[in-house]
Amino acid sequence: MPELDDKVRDLLSHYDPATTDKAEFLGARFDAGLAWVHFPRGRGGLGVSRGEQERVDALLAAAGAPAPDVGRNSIGMGMAAPTLLAFGDADQQERYLRRIYTCEDIWCQLFSEPGAGSDLAAVATRARLDGDTWIVDGQKVWTSGAHHAQRAILVARTDSSVPKHAGLTYFVVDMSDPGVEVRPLRQITGEAEFNEVFLSGVRVPNSDRIGDVGQGWKVATATLNNERVAIGAGAAREAGQIGVVADRWRRDPSVRTPGAQAELLAWWVETEVTRLAGVRLRQQLEAGVPGPESSAMKLAFARQAQEISGLALELAPEEGLLYDDWTMTRTERPSFLGRGPGFRYLRAKGNSIEGGTSEIMRNVVAERVLGLPADHRPDKGIPFKEVPR
């Protein structure tokens, strides 16, 4: 598309990637509409096809231009931004989208709770309106990256007199509020990517409410669908665990056996089918927000990551016994592939929990994609305050 090529050339002529500060360059790229080209003009895009993004990215990468740190700000880039675009008002989009793209603001997601993980609609964290400010009290858990986040997306209960899905509202929280306390959760790998977050009298301006009061479940569903696309739909062939194992197979003849070859080939084909299904899912996004089909992608990703990391240990079982460091580290971004095969095997165990458990993914696919009968839900239609907990 000639207009896009002209835009890229113009950006590079005014902001030399070799000498321009990274945040300044990314801000200029956002202003030029080259951040998310399918977003509207003035919101980081040009209102063109999502498929043009790959061309823009390639042109800028060839020129040595910096890219946003998607790994460190995956929730901001992959979940908060599309949710703000779909449900935020003009003021919220103006305040937040550019700073998300430049990574000046890192975001986290205050959704899961000790009693509301798989059943997100059962969240008990309360938000009550005091004048033009919401006062939030409660506890969240399994919050990735909360220890370095400046902002958070939050689902809280604003009405307990209606059934659980109808009493939720969606907010943006300033993580520097004195009522926010973040505590680390140590994982089986020794790292602490996740956190508990305690909210005590946290003040949220009504101007940071996303969507209408009581519309939180609808907004959160859009966020979760985007999250599952981000987790499940890898873009490159041999990305992730299969790439690591295939590379080892090519480099090291000592791990090659007929049985392992057959297993590796089967997983290579399955991951490639999943990748191509992800490409089709991304194409469907051209028509609007992602649908429940994204749950199938996330489900497939989790299963493949766990099985293939197990295959890596079968190829070299002694390496699974070697673990170099159990020191608790506070990582800034998720690492599924870091360190050795023992780390990858342990880290993959969390893939079937984070971003929605595999059990919930199967329910979503069964009910909302395949149209099968729904599970029995004894709390359906009952006011939340009357549901035994």
Q: Residue 378 — very low, low, confident or very high, per pLDDT cuts 50/70/90?
A: confident
Tell me the percentage of the chain whose pLDDT exceeds 90: 64
Lowest mean pLDDT among 37-51, 207-221, 246-260, 362-376: 362-376
Decide if 319 contacts 313 (C-beta within 8 A).
Answer: yes
Query: Angle at the Cα of 329 (from 328 to 335), degrees rounded to 5?
Result: 120
- The whole-number average pLDDT for the span 354-373 is 88
The yes-or-no verdict on residue 337 having pLDDT over 90 is no
Lowest mean pLDDT among 234-238, 262-266, 310-314: 234-238
Lowest mean pLDDT among 138-142, 149-153, 280-284: 280-284
User: Could you tell me what percentage of the chain is helix, strand and coil, using 3-state DSSP and rounding each to the nearest 5?
Assistant: 50, 15, 35
Q: How many C-beta atoms lie closer than 10 Å to residue 104's C-beta?
A: 13
Task: Point out the residues that are catalytic.
Answer: 227
Decide if 312 contacts 344 (C-beta within 8 A).
Answer: yes
Q: Residue 58 — very low, low, confident or very high, per pLDDT cuts 50/70/90?
A: very high
- The whole-number average pLDDT for the span 176-192 is 94
Report pLDDT for 171: 98
The yes-or-no verdict on residue 349 having pLDDT over 70 is yes
Average pLDDT of the chain, as a whole number:
90
- Residue 280: Cβ-neighbour burial (10 angstroms; 0-12, 13-18, 19+): exposed
* Domain over 233-370 is classified CATH 3.40.50.10420: no
Q: Residue 234 — very low, low, confident or very high, per pLDDT cuts 50/70/90?
A: low
Report pLDDT for 329: 86
Q: Residue 326 — very low, low, confident or very high, per pLDDT cuts 50/70/90?
A: confident
Report pLDDT for 288: 61
Rounded CA-CA distance 110/307 in Å is 30
The yes-or-no verdict on residue 230 having pLDDT over 70 is no
pLDDT in tens, 76-111: 998 999 999 999 999 999 999 999 999 999 999 999
Report pLDDT for 231: 62
The yes-or-no verdict on residue 268 having pLDDT over 90 is yes
Decide if 45 contacts 37 (C-beta within 8 A).
Answer: yes
The yes-or-no verdict on residue 74 having pLDDT over 60 is yes
Report pLDDT for 277: 86
- The whole-number average pLDDT for the span 244-262 is 93
Q: How far is CA 300 from CA 304, 345, 365, in A?
A: 6, 16, 12
- The whole-number average pLDDT for the span 248-261 is 92
Report pLDDT for 233: 53
The yes-or-no verdict on residue 126 having pLDDT over 80 is yes
- The whole-number average pLDDT for the span 251-267 is 93
Considering the four listed CATH numbers 2.40.110.10, 2.40.30.60, 3.10.20.70, 3.40.50.300, the one that applies to the domain covering 70-222 is 2.40.110.10
The yes-or-no verdict on residue 4 having pLDDT over 70 is yes
Domain-wise residue ranges, the chain: 1-67, 70-222, 233-370
Measure the N-to-C terminal CA separation of the chain; round to a whole number of Å.
Answer: 56
The yes-or-no verdict on residue 21 having pLDDT over 90 is yes
Q: Residue 218 — very low, low, confident or very high, per pLDDT cuts 50/70/90?
A: very high
| 41 phi, psi to nearest 5 deg | -60, 140
- The whole-number average pLDDT for the span 106-118 is 90
Decide if 69 contacts 208 (C-beta within 8 A).
Answer: no
